[in-house]
Structures are given as C-alpha cells and as structure tokens.
Structure 1
C-alpha cells in the first residue's frame, strides 16, 4: 500500500487553516440556505392546489427539494463534527435539520461513521456495497451471478432504468428500514428499531439509546405533518413537503452512489483494505456552480471529506486542490457530466468479482 499517502503526509500538504472550524462562518452558510428556502417556499405558497397546476407543482418539488438538500449537507457536517467546536450547538442544529427531513440523526451518525471507516470494503462497508459473483452471503454479498444473468436477460436499457428507479425512489427508505446496500457484516439493520427482529450489530453500547432519541424527533415531525394535513388538507402536505422531500432523497442517493461507484473503481477485501485506501477510492465529480453553491460543494470535494471529515466545506475546495496537486496518481476525479455518469453506473455496474490476484473486487459489466 506504499502508493497511498499517509495522514501525516497529507497533513503536510493541506494548509493548516483548512482544519479549523468557525461557528460564525458555518452559521452564515446555514442562514444562506434558510434564506434561499424561505424564498422558494414563499413562491410555493402562491401556487393553487388544483389539478391543472400539477406540472407546476412537479417543477416546484424539483426546485424546493434541490434547495432543501443544502440543509441535509449542513446536518451531515454537524454529524461529522465539522460545523463547530461547540459540540452542543452542533448537535442541536444537526438533529433539528435532519429530523425535519425525516432522517434519524443519531442512527444515521452511527451508520455513516461505519461507512467512512470502511469505505468500499466488500464486507464491512455500509452504503452501496455491491453483490458479489461467487459470494457466500455470509462474508460477502451473494447473488452476483443471478444479477448478472438478470441484467443481460432484460438488456442494458431496461436494467439501467430499473436501477435508477430502485435507487432514487426506493433506495434511501430501504436503507433506513432494512439496511439495503449495507455490508453483510451488519445484517438487516433498521435505523428506527435497534433490536430484534432486526440486527443489533450496527448499534453497539449506548448507540441503541441514541436510536430511540432519534425516533422521538421523527415522531414529533410526523405529528406536526398529521396536524398540518388535518388543518390545511393533504394536498398542502403532499405539494409543499412530501414532493420536495422525495427530491432531497433522490439527491442524497445520487451523491452517495456516484461518490463510491464507477465501473473502474474496485471494492476491497480485508487483505487490501485500509482506511486511507478506501478514502482515496471516493470520486469527485463536476456538479457545476449552481449545485455546488446550493449543496456546499459536497459532490466536488468528497475525496478530502473522506480523508479528513472534520474539515468544513468552506475549506474543502482549498484542501482538495492541495491533495490533487500532491497526489495526482491516487486522487480520483471523473469529468463525465452527472447525468451521463449516473446512467453509466446504473446500466453497467451490476456485480463485482474477485480478480484472483488479490482481494480486489472488480465490476462485471452489463455487456448488452
């Protein structure tokens, strides 16, 4: 693993100020996202709840969900300790932001920390862990042969479309409720219920209590939504909240999927895996100025985020430039436009297979 930089060598090339957190600056970015969302919601309140305005409401959901994704990113920074040195303030903000998006904050914080520790690990990874050709279902994700056969029987276009639908619409709730795409080590986990009949492996020690604390916030939000629907009608909730939330969830899946999946990016077994090697298997992509602005550069600075997740997003651009210059052979950036990259991953990345020379697992593509 001599080709992978060590943390001390990385710390030498990243400017020291990149590791500092400024509460006032983080709050300023939060208020910016709030201001943008207030404007979008104010516009939404002027749209009538009539069938003839259905297309307008779809457009509204796309816009409002895209702007609201900024809250998800800030809550994500809170979960990593990148928002502020004031841990109580950071936890309150992260808990509130994630809870209003129906994300169980502490449950996610735990599973996401596992994802960071074992990025692209074939058995202990925690998001978008692929099916394995020859996997036994205990130490690896079995079912790769069946998935390859199925993808080739229906063709690349149909398989890609199905993958997009399953990932973007069903993927996030399926992960929260049943641990789908998580590694086999943790079994069928549930982010709301840390005990049987679900696996308890993801919630050691006091984390199970924190899951219940997350649930309390989610319950409050659900009660508010019920009262909202009761007072103002279900159409109001569907158009102003549910539609945009579905778009937020889609953005979340797009980012996590494309951060850690590409046809030439391997997954690793125990012999080849290390934290730093996994971190450098993250992929930066070109999301453009508007999305980078709204989403605080989460997609274009993700490699450095995996290397040093406590670096706040407003220093991540500078830190990314530093590692890109210092370690060009291992830094991954794919310039493919996002819509093309998403289709390529959905239609080509079916299952992985051990390469036979090491514990690297390479993608077996859909050749149809």
Structure 2
C-alpha cells in the first residue's frame, strides 16, 4: 500500500507547556490509535521480503565479480558500490525489524535471521538491538535518549561545536557535518557512543560494557547484558574471518571492492535515514522536566523516498512515525498504520515533502550544532 497524496509539510507551533498537555495525546491513546491487527505476522510477506532483499544483494555481488580490477573500470566499481549498497540496505532494515520482534512470531527463528543478516553487514546484532530499544524508549530525550542526541549550548561539547560553527562558513560547516555523519558517524557511534544521551556518559561501546566505557549515571549496557554482547562480537569475528579468508584466496583488492564499497553505501543510507528521521530545525528535544514518551515518539519525521527506495528499503523512511508509535508492527502493515495516524492526529504526525537531498543539506548546515532552550515551551531547538 502506498500513500498517493501525502499531506503538506507541517510545523508544530511553539506553545506553552500547559498548552502542550492538551495538544499531545497520552501514551495509551497514541498506542490505542493503531489496531492490534497491525501487529499480526504475514509469513508470505515477511519471508518474501527477505528472499527479495537477499537474492537481489547476492545477484548484485555476483555481477561485481566480473568487473575487472583496473583503473579504467573505476566508474563501474563506483556504480556497483552505489547499486549493491542500496539494494543490501534492505537486508539491514529486515535485521532491524528482527531486533524489534516484528519479523517472525518465533523469537528463536527471528534471532537467527537478524543475527546472520547483521553479522554479515558487520553490525553487532544484540548490542545494537539493545541501544536501539533505548532510543525508542526515550526518543528526543536529552538525558535518556540514544543516537542523534544533540549537545546543549551550555555543555562543553555544545560550546565547542558552536564556536567551530561560527568560525566556518555555512557551506564548509555543512560539508564537515555530512562527512562526520555519513562517512564516519556509524563507526564513531558503535565504538565510542557518539551522539548518545547525556546519562550514559562518554565513551560507550557496543563491543565492551566495562571500563573504560562505563562513565555515565546509568549503563547503556548493564552487566547482565555481557553474554549478548559477546555473542554479537562472535558474529563479527566470524564475518571478519570469512572476509580475511576470501582476501587471501582471491585478493585484498577484490574483496575490498566487492564488500567494502557496498558497505560504505549501506552505512551512508543508514545514517541518512536516522539523521533525517529525528532532526530538523523545528523538531524539539526535551529534558527530564518536559519529556514524556508520547511527545518524544511524535518528533519523528516521515519523508518522501519514492517507490523504488520504499520498495528496496521496506518503507523505513516513509513510515517511521508509525514505527516509533509501535515498533512491533511489521513493515508491510506500517503503511496502513501511517494512514491511520495521519487521519487520527493530522496536526501531530510529521511529514516533510522536501526532496531528500535538499533536506539533508538543510539539516547538515542548520542542525549540526548545539540546541538552545526556548523559554516559552522549555524545549530545546537548533
């Protein structure tokens, strides 16, 4: 199901905190707006999506094996990396769905699918599923949030970022922001917890949950989670061993091109999606005093990725508000959930019709710094 006539871009007005209590629904009302039947699994659609994404990814890699390792073939390798990475992002999305228990009713089967898919893409499956669950539980929460949490202007990081922003022109700052997010942001997040919430301290790591990665008021990964972290790491070790063996057998250059180029593109898609889903000039971030779950969940943005990307990536960028309201809804039911939410809460469900490349540049140039508190509603904005 697709949305043929999406609503125009909406910007929530700045209102007093007293007014916000009448605008925002409670958590129960928000959850009850989506029928329970939307969480029902359809095995044909679920497995069909997996077969489609996996088979297209394998086919693309097979095509790549015929590209010669010559300088003249560089344009072909660039095209290969862009196409294969874009296709394989669908596998990433389905592994993400497994982490939400939205792929299969059997948790063991679901865990195996998610673990294999994410390990193949060098993602620590269980560790990331844990941090991502924290992100969903505390969306747009400055203290308890996780991923794409901006620094406050009053913090040392915020002051340093704002100082840099004032020194650079807008174009240069935007280019640096794009590089930091799209090229190295994913690795910085996994290894150091970059853009994590204030409560968890810095650094945090998806690979080890003890010193020196345990400095916050509360642990992102509690001690009891260690065994799942080890399982995640073993999956990565197995995949890295496979890549090293293939490099020895075929050549490092061949595997670097076949695997490395799509890997970069996948990570660009991942960070682009998450950045644009939770960041823009008019999206508020809340502190402990004003945050609640419904407010946070509704600060997510649906954007127009078009029929091809929505097909390949299972609608992850165009149905994300519904996903944050109820992450147990499978992707094939999220389209209907999106329609229902827009009809039920027309002034609260965010949709931005700005073309993706323009929205990405706007966010990179306008939202790469710290957030300032607005006295009228006690929320924080860029």
TM-score normalised by the chain length of structure 1: 0.94
- Give the whole-Å Cα distance in 2 for the aligned partners of 1:313 and 1:173: 26
Equivalent position of 2:375 in the other structure: 356
Equivalent position of 1:169 in the other structure: 183
Equivalent position of 1:333 in the other structure: 351
* Equivalent residue runs for 1:53-202 within 5 Å: 53-135=73-155, 142-187=156-201, 188-199=203-214, 201-202=219-220
- Give the whole-Å Cα distance in 1 for the aligned partners of 2:28 and 2:296: 17
Higher alpha-carbon deviation: 6-15 or 324-333: 6-15
- Give the whole-Å Cα distance in 2 for the aligned partners of 1:254 and 1:11: 27
Cα deviation digits, residues 12-48 of structure 1 (max 9, x gap) = 5434421212233211110011221132122212211
- Cα pair 1:23 1:85 within 8 Å, conserved: no
- Cα pair 2:27 2:293 within 8 Å, conserved: no
Equivalent position of 2:4 in the other structure: none
- Give the whole-Å Cα distance in 2 for the aligned partners of 1:358 and 1:328: 21
- Give the whole-Å Cα distance in 2 for the aligned partners of 1:119 and 1:284: 15
> How far apart are residue 7 of structure 1 and its match?
4.3
> How far apart are residue 184 of structure 1 and its match?
1.8
SS of structure 1 residue aligned to 2:370? strand
- Cα pair 1:304 1:316 within 8 Å, conserved: yes
Say how many residue pairs are matched: 357
Higher alpha-carbon deviation: 5-14 or 207-216: 5-14
- Cα pair 2:322 2:337 within 8 Å, conserved: yes
Q: 2:239 aligns with which of 212, 215, 221?
A: 221
SS of structure 2 residue aligned to 1:341? helix
Equivalent position of 2:67 in the other structure: 47
> How far apart are residue 115 of structure 1 and its match?
0.5
Equivalent position of 1:211 in the other structure: 229
Equivalent position of 1:270 in the other structure: 288
Gaps of 5+ in 2: 1-20
- Cα pair 2:209 2:222 within 8 Å, conserved: no
Q: 2:341 aligns with which of 311, 323, 337?
A: 323
Equivalent position of 2:23 in the other structure: 3
Equivalent position of 1:139 in the other structure: none
Equivalent position of 1:32 in the other structure: 52
> How far apart are residue 116 of structure 1 and its match?
0.5
- Give the whole-Å Cα distance in 1 for the aligned partners of 2:272 and 2:238: 28
TM-score normalised by the chain length of structure 2: 0.91
- Cα pair 2:39 2:328 within 8 Å, conserved: yes
C-alpha RMSD over aligned residues: 1.3
> How far apart are residue 71 of structure 1 and its match?
0.4
- Give the whole-Å Cα distance in 1 for the aligned partners of 2:299 and 2:220: 23
> How far apart are residue 9 of structure 1 and its match?
3.1
- Give the whole-Å Cα distance in 2 for the aligned partners of 1:195 and 1:334: 41
Does 1:246 pair with 2:264? Answer: yes
Gaps of 5+ in 1: 136-141, 364-368
- Give the whole-Å Cα distance in 1 for the aligned partners of 2:327 and 2:36: 15
- Give the whole-Å Cα distance in 1 for the aligned partners of 2:73 and 2:56: 23
